[in-house]
Copies of this chain bind each other. A is one copy, B any other.
């Protein structure tokens, strides 16, 4: 297996590029996988995006993102369901089975986290069947607890697995994103559980930089620049049986401002030195 066979470049890492540019950058770097964001797909239109992807020969490992399911009002809930059904169709059209779900924060002025989480469970129940019919899995993403109020009320892998549990594994999965879950004292046991329960749909890597950036959303870094223990987490994910692609998804203002080819070269370096060994070492034990 080649060094970069499992490396997938998420287009959020090269945010300045259009979809054709991002696909070209990944292909020229010798990669075989990309993760796509819906905004770049929308710019060229879905059918054209699907054509560009086919032409590139790249495999789409996930579409980001569905979600935002916490509305408390019926109109907001209907709008969310409509948008997610659209996203499910987009994922299928782009040739990926994985739709990453960032489930949304508290509605404006609302502090009732317990009820917001219940609404997420309810909306997932309403979407799971439609997703499965289209061969798409709703991939629940736990976000770092610093985003629990304003971005995603799913805060731990264990919680994501609890939400997934009532649904078939083909319909609802979870993503392990190192930036969001590295701190979790239950991480080892919940990754093992995710493997046992057949729920690991994606492994995403980037670092958690300190000090936290002025815009906390942009506090991600190249693997190795922050505090994440990739060796340990990669081993846990591999021991849990995950053998799929690994997306590198970095939101960082400096990285976004740098030339894309340099960014991809650094991503490949860090992948080869910090991520791939953790996946192989565990594999060797098996």
Task: Report which A residues bind B (CB closer than 8 A).
Answer: 106, 111-114, 117, 144-146, 148-150, 154-156, 158-159, 162, 182-186, 188, 208, 210-212, 214, 216, 227-229, 232
Contact of A159 among B114, B159, B185 (CB under 8 A): B185
Q: Chain B nearest CB: distance from A117 CB in Å?
A: 7
Q: A155-B184, A185-B155, A216-B212 are in contact. Are A113 and B229 (CB under 8 A)?
A: yes
Contact status A146-B146, CB under 8 Å: yes
A154 partner residues in chain B, CB cutoff 8 A? 185
A183 partner residues in chain B, CB cutoff 8 A? 113, 145, 148-149, 155
When C-beta atoms are compared, the residue in chain B nearest to A180 turns out to be B145
Q: A146-B146, A212-B146 are in contact. Are A182 and B227 (CB under 8 A)?
A: no
Q: Chain B nearest CB: distance from A131 CB in Å?
A: 23
Q: A113-B182, A145-B184 are in contact. Are A150 and B210 (CB under 8 A)?
A: yes
When C-beta atoms are compared, the residue in chain B nearest to A150 turns out to be B210
- For the complex of A and B, the 3 pairs showing the least CB-CB separation, nearest first, are A148-B183, A149-B227, A159-B185
- Bound CA–CA A150/B212 (angstroms): 11
When C-beta atoms are compared, the residue in chain B nearest to A224 turns out to be B111
A184 partner residues in chain B, CB cutoff 8 A? 145, 155-156
A214 partner residues in chain B, CB cutoff 8 A? 214
> Besides the contacts A113-B182, A145-B146, A154-B185, what 12 more A-B pairs have beta carbons closer than 8 Å?
A111-B227, A112-B229, A113-B183, A144-B146, A146-B146, A146-B212, A155-B184, A155-B185, A156-B184, A159-B185, A211-B216, A212-B216
Q: Chain B nearest CB: distance from A69 CB in Å?
A: 15
What are 18 A-B interface contacts by the 8 Å CB criterion? A113-B229, A113-B232, A117-B185, A144-B145, A145-B145, A145-B184, A149-B210, A149-B227, A150-B210, A150-B227, A155-B185, A156-B186, A158-B186, A159-B185, A159-B186, A162-B185, A212-B216, A214-B214
A155 partner residues in chain B, CB cutoff 8 A? 183-185
A158 partner residues in chain B, CB cutoff 8 A? 185-186
A227 partner residues in chain B, CB cutoff 8 A? 106, 111, 149-150
